[in-house]
């Protein structure tokens, strides 16, 4: 009787489903792989525009703690007792070796820049767009210690974008800024192989994007208007240009790292007016991390034709059972819109992108298996449809979305 009761806890994964899932080579919609460098060279620091590995201490979730037995076990599975030895033995093919070990065929690499050691056949670039939204003095809006650190990094990245655009600094006119800095940066990213632009905006301000008139934005650009109007106008310009250039827009829409992260700023419902803007329907939005903890609220947004979600971060912080419950409700509703992802990230010396990638990949596969098993148990789907859904979530949905082979 218990087993027949819909809504009861998710059962362990059916062995046939587990076998089908294990065979699928995944496309990872969002991660931060670290570029391997030879001993003595400067270590890679381009795995994130806003690194969260050295913020003021927070109370880490259990699965993120360096002392977690799961972290030690992931490290042993990947490296035995000698991680430095394994890294030395692999050198330039190291990152590819890691992907093979964690069952990922292609990883979308959310990085400031790519480079040697991350071959484009296996690592697809997703650069950052936030810096373009903040061309003015940001001291007044940098309130928490984390924001103060973040805005320094955004300003540094914007200087890099000026430089790469062939400019020595901020151009005097707003139209020149949009054209010669914003659009030219997006076009350069596209030429460099990018398939999407990433926004970490919720670390800096609310996702509530208004729809200001151009004149308002121009006033703010010349230092006489409301800064938020300028940011919102630039955001919309970026998003429209991404649609034109065939770049998807990735938005961090979930809880985030650091003890000062304001979760309500990341509520995906704040994006609804933007998603309903007819002029932006050519742009594809991917809400990273599936809105956690607003996972129920995000479900109806899946009916927007240009909206997708991934379940990265959830696979790192939450249990397979809890992630499975989220997946079950999405898969019953709009399974073409759901993307597997790890958010593999170098959190600490103990929990590198390799270990966090393995933990999240295993969690994602188990969560998917639990969701599909429960749907079979409750006679919602059969084994064949379950296997098809597994292929869609782990691979085919992303393949279609980004036009990958
Ligand atoms: Zn991330």
Q: Ligand 1 centre from 128 Cα, in Å? A: 11
Q: Ligand 1 centre from 160 Cα, in Å? A: 21
Q: What is the pLDDT of residue 405?
A: 87
Q: What is the DSSP letter of 177?
A: I
Q: What is the pLDDT of residue 56?
A: 85
Cis peptide before 368 (omega within 30 of 0): no
User: Which residue positions in the chain have pLDDT lower than 70?
Assistant: 1-8, 53-54
Q: What is the pLDDT of residue 250?
A: 98
Q: What is the pLDDT of residue 4?
A: 46
Say which residues have a Cβ less than 8 Å from residue 323's Cβ, sequence separation at least 6: 311, 314, 315, 363, 364, 367
Q: What is the pLDDT of residue 7?
A: 54
Q: Ligand 1 centre from 111 Cα, in Å? A: 9
- Within a 13 Å sphere around the CA of 52, how many CA atoms are in the beta-carbon half? 19
Sign of torsion over alpha carbons 276, 277, 283, 288: negative
Query: What strands, in cross-sheet order, belong to the sheet with 104-110?
Result: 26-31, 104-110, 123-126
Q: Ligand 1 centre from 206 Cα, in Å? A: 18
Q: Ligand 1 centre from 328 Cα, in Å? A: 23
SS3 107: strand
Q: What is the pLDDT of residue 40?
A: 85
Q: Ligand 1 centre from 104 Cα, in Å? A: 16
Q: In whole angstroms, how far apart are CA 304 and each of 199, 274, 301, 329?
A: 20, 11, 6, 17
Q: What is the pLDDT of residue 53?
A: 67
- Within a 13 Å sphere around the CA of 269, how many CA atoms are in the beta-carbon half? 9
Q: Ligand 1 centre from 7 Cα, in Å? A: 31
Distance, CA of 379 to CA of 3 (rounded, Å) = 12
Are residues 145 and 56 in contact, defined by beta-carbon separation less than 8 angstroms? Answer: yes
């Amino acid at each position: 009787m218990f087993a027949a009761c819909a809504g009861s806890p998710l059962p362990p994964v059916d062995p046939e489903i587990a076998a089908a899932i294990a065979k699928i080579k995944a496309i990872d919609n969002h991660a931060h792989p670290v570029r391997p460098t030879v001993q003595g060279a400067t270590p890679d620091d381009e795995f994130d525009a806003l690194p969260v590995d050295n913020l003021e201490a927070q109370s880490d979730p259990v699965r993120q703690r360096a002392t977690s037995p799961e972290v030690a076990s992931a490290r042993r599975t990947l490296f035995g007792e000698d991680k430095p030895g394994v890294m030395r033995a692999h050198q330039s093919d190291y990152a590819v070796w890691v992907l093979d070990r964690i069952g990922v065929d292609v990883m979308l690499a959310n990085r400031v820049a790519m480079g040697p050691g991350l071959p484009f056949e296996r690592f697809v670039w997703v650069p950052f767009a936030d810096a373009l939204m903040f061309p003015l003095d940001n001291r007044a809006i940098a309130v928490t210690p984390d924001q103060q650190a973040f805005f320094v990094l955004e300003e540094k990245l914007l200087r890099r974008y000026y430089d790469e655009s062939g400019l020595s600094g901020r151009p005097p006119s707003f139209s020149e800024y949009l054209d010669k800095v914003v659009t030219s940066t997006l076009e350069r990213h596209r030429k460099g192989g990018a398939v999407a632009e990433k926004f970490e905006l919720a670390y800096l301000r609310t996702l509530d994007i208004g729809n200001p008139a151009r004149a308002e934005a121009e006033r703010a650009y010349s230092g006489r208007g409301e800064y938020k109007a300028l940011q919102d106008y630039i955001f919309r310009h970026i998003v429209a240009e991404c649609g034109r250039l065939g770049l998807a827009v990735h938005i961090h829409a979930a809880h985030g790292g650091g003890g000062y992260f304001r979760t309500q700023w990341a509520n995906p419902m704040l994006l609804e007016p933007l998603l309903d803007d007819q002029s932006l329907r050519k742009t594809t939005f991917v809400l990273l991390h599936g809105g956690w903890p607003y996972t129920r609220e995000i479900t109806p947004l899946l009916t927007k034709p240009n909206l997708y979600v991934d379940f990265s971060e959830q696979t790192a912080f939450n249990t397979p059972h809890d992630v499975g419950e989220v997946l079950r409700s999405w898969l019953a509703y709009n399974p073409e819109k759901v993307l597997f992802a790890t958010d593999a990230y170098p959190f600490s010396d103990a929990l590198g992108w390799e270990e966090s990638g393995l933990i999240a990949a295993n969690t994602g596969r188990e969560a998917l298996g639990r969701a599909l098993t429960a749907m079979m148990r409750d006679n919602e789907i059969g084994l064949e449809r379950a296997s098809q859904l597994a292929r869609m979530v782990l691979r085919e949905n992303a393949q279609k979305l980004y036009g990958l082979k």
